[in-house]
Structure 1
Amino acid sequence: MPTDNQIIDMNRGPRSELVESASIEWIPLDLRKGNAWSITPFFFVANWSFFTIALGFTGPSLGLSLGWTLVAGVAGMVFGTFFMAFHATQGPHMGLPQIIQSRAQFGFYGASTALFMAVACYMGFGVVYTVLTTGGLHSLFGWSPLLVGVVINVGAAALAVLGHHALHQLSRIIFYISLPLFVAFSAMIVLGHVTAPHGSGPVGSTGFTASAFVTQFAVAAAYNIALAPIVSDYTRYLPETTRPGLLVAAVYTGTGLSATWLMAIGAWLASKFGADDALTSLAHAGDSVFSGFGVILALVSVATLVVCLGSFSYSVALQVLTAADMFGVRGGKRGRLWIGLAAVAIWSAIAIPFGDNVVGVAGGALSSMLFLLVPWTAVNLTDYFLVRKGSYSIADILDKNGRYGLWSVRGLVAYGAGFAFMVPFAVLPYFHGPIANLINGIDVSFLVGLVVAAATYYLWPARQQQPRSAPVVPAATTVSANGPGHHDDRPTRAAV
């Protein structure tokens, strides 16, 4: 069993507490609540913002027609959400945050490979979301970027402090408020009752180019793959009996539907009206239905971004605590609170004073971080579904002297191979790989990284699977294909 200081100490169930008591600890079975579909609103809202609308601008800006933009975007979302949704099953099965689980593939210290990239990634999202929100509301209403930045990030910090349950509960409220509004707006688009904002008009002639199609596909796919390192952070309170298939469907429906829906609206706005600013174009298009409707749509979209900012702060805190745990420092609930607040303060200090001047830099950093996270998700899912088939020792994941070792050569080599093969195919803000240049700047690096990292990990020679830095611990409490709590001391593939 996990030791006493690795299990959260709660006298009340998760639905009754105001501030979550957990940080990176294993969640006891008697504190698990809800069902697979109860988490759908959270994942729906995670993509339900004007930031997602901007994804649909990519294809038209590169000369892709509306039809081809929708095909590429939908295909990319279907592909990217596949990987992200399957991470969700690890939460109820293992009861741990997402990144800490990767110690089983990379080792106790080796998990830092993805950990620091994930922290940088979500800090970058914090900067970009803050800048876009402050700039958009200033453009629409003339509101002070400083005041808006402070208000939205104070709200995000409060949500991060309250924790997991508050994030889910507020997401449900926003879900039920915003869904009918966007259903009505989408119906008006289909019926032809949304007209062009003043001063805008259709873009020039568009058609099909392979590079534009693949770019739109890649942007859409990467958008949901970016959530992979934090998925289990928000499913670990579900009962261990949650059916994996239902959970995948619930998460897939939430993230895939919301992202595809708003991306399609963005593609339509860009193709028909030449829109290049998501929040203002949404507001102006909405106002063409009736005065004030666009403002309501815009403010609801901003509210979803506040939830997203709170989620980033919360997950960054879990990731930093995972790093601290490598050195024997256990931050607990207070650590989660202070680190979450610090994360918000840092990205606010970068975003609010510098505004649009940092968007390009932050966007480039995000592209690089997402690029580096692709091999991680391939290794993690291959290990969970194909190699160990869900059988893990929770006690050993939490123990630096456990069976998974300090550094896992297998996981690190597979990650390195995936990364190395991605480089020649990559198209990044400051680098174009030689093969990418040969194929007219088409970026297929994420496909290459997924295949190479997964294949390398899966085909690793059996005699090298057990790390030398830690022996197999017999009779350790595990979670397995037979369910959590079973004793699994068999010297099988699942034990290594």
Structure 2
Amino acid sequence: MADDTLTTPTRSIEVRSIDYVPRSERHGKVWHIGPLWFMCNAQITTLAIGVVSFVDGGNLIWSFIAIAIGLIIGTIFMAAHSSQGPKLGLPQMIQSRPQFGYIGALLVWLFAFLQYAGFNIFNTVLAGEAVGTAVHAPTALNPLWFWIVTVVGAIIAIVGYDLIHRMERYLSYLTVAVLALLTISGLTHLHVPAGSFDLGHFSPLAFFAQLSVVAGYQISWAIYVSDYSRYLPATTPTSQTFRWTFWGSAIGGAWLIFLGAYLASAVKGFNAGDPVSAIQQVADDLFPGFGTIALLVIAFGLVAVIVLNMYGGSLTLISSIDSFKKVNPTLLVRVVTVAITALISGVLALFASGNFASNFSSFLVLVLYFFIPWTAVNLTDYFIVRRGHYAIAEIFKPRGIYHRWGWAGIAAYLIGFVCMTPFFDTAFYVGFAARAMGGVDISLFIGLPVAAILYWLFTRRLDVSAERALADEQSAALEEAAEEHVELGTV
């Protein structure tokens, strides 16, 4: 059994950012990541994922099947990334340097930062609307709620890792209770239309659209996951990290997406893109006033996700700046980058379109496109090529063994992405293969194997044993330098 108990006193404010977490500071219990990833999925944004197949003419039973398959596929990849955290002691995106290079990693960091900001725009809008509806405030005050949500999220993100874990853990208990009551209300007071469970009513377009969006939603968490497992003891078994991440995320995702699909088939307002009013209606059907309670809890849940986006956005922004000019990752730098991330999403939330469901679906598909080849390259490198052995100190050297440009990773990524384009089906572009198949998008199943196989082929001559020897040689100095970094007050 891994030693997963607290090994060092927690600080009131986290001081580390993109730097390595030494073993002396590793702490926490591996099961804590389960509630965190449950909570990230157990919120109103996830409900909107269940709408997708109905937009394209699907029915409930095939939507459920597509959701289940998409969840399994996406969550396996997402949870695999989580297991990197305890082993490497690094945030997720900085781990892209061994595959893409010191400068080349900017390719994926740009997309990652856009994702953090994009998700926060949608989350901020929904949280603000939920609070405003719950307290019966005029819609003119929604911008005020947007900024309150943004400021609260920024403060929690600045305090950092330990507060985030505690908040997500305790909030998950309250959320389970509210969701259970909401589910009971939906099952007892709503009725789905005839034909909802007709297996003969199969629409390939609706099925693969639903599957791809669900898988994309789960894979989109891949750029976050080891941010929240990197403080765990290095002895934490990979299987335990994977298992707690997988089940936490899968249960939260399944519950909310299945519920979203059920509501989409039964509540006209929900399917039309107004999930806040639909949730209030279903909750109040159980007992008067429950709608207000449900919306407030849902708003808190969205704040919990907004925090993760600000925290991850800050780490990615610091990593990006560090690629051009060496950054001393001080607390001040983290505060400034959290504030920048919060400001961007807060301002853009004011201009977000009211057609939430349609825009959010399109956004998720874009996320899937950009991160499918990245997740293939990153996981192939970690589990197959280098098998979890990295010279951590070299990741922070502009001219270290991982070089400025990782052409193997860049080439595999770009070729994998290009191979996906004929299968794209978006509002602004439809590939010839997708058009020939009536709009069915199977790019997920193209990009993953192509990028993974190419990266493996491109790295066949890599001297992994030399890298491992260097990592062993530098390990003691790495721990000492990381500990001194804190003791000298340079973070």
The two structures have a TM-score, normalised by structure 2, of 0.88
Quote the residue 2:326 is aligned against: 328
Determine the C-alpha separation between the residues in 1 that align with 2:284 and 2:154: 32
* TM-fit CA distance, 1:110: 1.2
Q: Which amino acid aligns with 1:280?
A: S
Per-residue CA deviations over 1:393-450 (Å, capped at 9, x if unaligned) read 1111122222111111111111111111011111123111110000010111122111
Deviations 1:18-75 (A, max 9, x none): 1101111100101111222121111111111111111111122322221111111111
**1:240 maps onto 2:234 in alignment:** yes
Asked if the contact 2:213/2:361 (under 8 Å) is kept, the reply is: no
Counterpart among 374, 379, 388 of residue 376 in structure 1: 374
Relative distance call for 1:406 and 1:353 in structure 2 (3 A) is closer
Secondary structure of residue in 1 paired with 2:124: helix
Aligned to 1:286: 283
2:81 to 60, 77, 87: 87
Q: 1:302 to 1:239 in 2, by over 3 A?
A: same
Matched to 2:10, the amino acid is: S
Give the direction of change, closer, same or farther, for the CA distance of 1:73–1:31 in structure 2 (3 Å limit): same
Q: Which moved more, 1:360-369 or 1:243-252?
A: 360-369
Counterpart secondary structure, 2:354: helix
* 3-state secondary structure, aligned to 1:57: helix
Counterparts in 2 of 1:280 and 1:30: CA distance versus 1, 3 Å: same
- Residue 303 of structure 2 aligns with an amino acid whose one-letter code is V
Report the equivalent of 1:316.
313
Candidates 124, 127, 130, aligned match of 1:130: 124
Residue 417 of structure 1 corresponds to: 415
Match of 1:229 among 223, 226, 229: 223
Show the counterpart of 1:454.
Answer: 452
SS at match of 2:27: coil
- Residue 6 of structure 1 corresponds to none
CA RMSD of aligned residues (A): 2.6
Partner of 2:399: 401
- 1:432 aligns with one of 424, 430, 438: 430
1:142 pairs with 2:142:
no
Q: Which moved more, 1:292-301 or 1:404-413?
A: 292-301
Question: Cα distance, 1:202 vs. partner?
Answer: 4.6
What residue number does 1:121 align with? 115
Change in CA separation of 1:332 and 1:363 when aligned onto 2, cut-off 3 Å: farther
Could you tell me how far apart the structure 1 residues matched to 2:132 and 2:161 are?
A: 31
2:487 aligned partner: none
Whole-Å separation in 2 of the counterparts to 1:337 and 1:91? 23
Structure 1 residues 231 and 142, CA gap change in structure 2 (3 angstroms): same
Counterpart CA distance in 1 for 2:122 and 2:194 is 26
In 2, the alpha carbon distance for the partners of 1:485 and 1:184 equals 53
Q: Equivalent residue of 1:392, what SS? A: coil
Is 1:179 the counterpart of 2:176 in the alignment? yes
TM-superposed CA distance for 1:332, in Å, is 2.2
> Separation in 1 of the partners of 2:70 and 2:225?
19
- Verify: 1:24 aligned to 2:22, yes or no: no
1:302 to 288, 299, 303: 299
Report if aligned partners of 2:390, 2:467 keep a CA contact under 8 Å in 1: no
Q: Give how far 1:355 is off.
A: 5.2
Paired AA for residue 459 in structure 1: L
In the superposition, relative to structure 1, how do residues 361 and 270 fare at CA in structure 2: closer, same or farther (>3 Å)?
Answer: closer
Q: Answer yes or no: is the 8 Å Cα contact 2:186–2:282 preserved in 1.
A: no
Q: Which residue of 2 aligns with 1:74?
A: 68
Give structure 2 stretches of 5+ with no counterpart.
1-5, 479-491
Q: Secondary structure at the match of 2:16?
A: coil
Q: Measure how far apart 1:478 and its partner are.
A: 4.4
Letter in 1 for 2:38: F
State whether structure 2 residue 36 is matched by structure 1 residue 39.
no
How far has the Cα of 1:183 moved from its partner? Answer: 2.3
The superposition leaves residues 342-364 of structure 1 with CA deviations (integer Å, 9 ceiling, x where unpaired) of 11111111212555389977765
Residue 16 of structure 1 deviates from its aligned partner by: 3.0
In the aligned structure 1, how far is the partner of 2:202 from the partner of 2:463? Answer: 50
Query: How far apart are the structure 1 equivalents of 2:102 and 2:226?
Result: 18
Distance 1:135 1:392 in 2: 45
3-state SS of the aligned residue for 2:375? Answer: helix
Q: More helix per residue: 1 or 2? A: 2
Q: Secondary structure at the match of 2:148?
A: helix
- 1:318-353 deviations in whole A, cap 9, x for unaligned? 001111211213342211111101111111112125
Identity, % of aligned positions: 32
CA-to-partner distance for each residue in 1:191-224, whole Å, 9 max, x for gaps? x2x347xxxx859978320110111111110001
Structure 1 gaps, min length 5: 1-11, 488-496
Scaled by the length of structure 1, the TM-score of the pair is: 0.87
349, 353, 356: which one aligns with 2:354: 356
Does the CA-based 8 Å contact 1:394-1:478 persist in structure 2? no
What SS does the corresponding residue of 2:369 show, helix, strand or coil? Answer: helix
Shift in CA distance, 118/289, structure 1 to aligned 2, threshold 3 Å: same
Instruction: Tell me the alpha carbon deviations over residues 369-410 of structure 1, each in whole angstroms, 9 at most, x when there is no partner.
Output: 431111000000001001111111111112222211111111
Distance (whole Å) between structure 1 residues aligned to residue 343 and residue 355 of structure 2? 18
Paired with 2:349 and 2:372, the residues of 1 have a C-alpha distance of 27
Q: Which residue of 1 aligns with 2:156?
A: 159
Matched, 1:219 2:213: yes
User: 2:46·2:253 contact (CA, 8 Å) conserved in 1?
Assistant: yes
Q: Which runs of 4+ in 1 moved over 4 A?
A: 12-15, 136-140, 201-206, 357-366, 471-475, 484-487
Does 2:101 match 1:104?
A: no
How far 1:462 moved relative to its partner? 2.8
CA drift of 1:281 comes to: 1.2
Q: Which moved more, 1:129-138 or 1:151-160?
A: 129-138
Deviation sequence 1:205-263 (CA, Å, 0-9, x none): 78320110111111110001001111111110000011111111100011111011011
Which one-letter code corresponds to 2:346 in the other structure? S
SS in 2 for 1:404: coil
C-alpha distance in 1, partners of 2:431/2:473? 42
Structure 1 residues 221 and 24: alpha-carbon distance in aligned structure 2, compared to 1, 3 A threshold: same
CA contact (8 A) 1:131 1:359 kept: no
Secondary structure at the aligned position of 2:286 is classed as coil
Contact 1:15 1:165 in 2 (8 A): no
- Aligned to 1:427, what secondary structure does the other structure show? coil
On the 8 A contact 1:149/1:348 being kept in 2, the answer is yes
Contact 1:129 1:305 in 2 (8 A): yes
Cα drift, residue 291 of structure 1: 1.1
Contact 1:46–1:304, Cα closer than 8 Å, also in 2: yes
Structure 2: distance between partners of 1:267 and 1:359? 12
Matches within 5 A, 1:263-274: 263-274=257-268
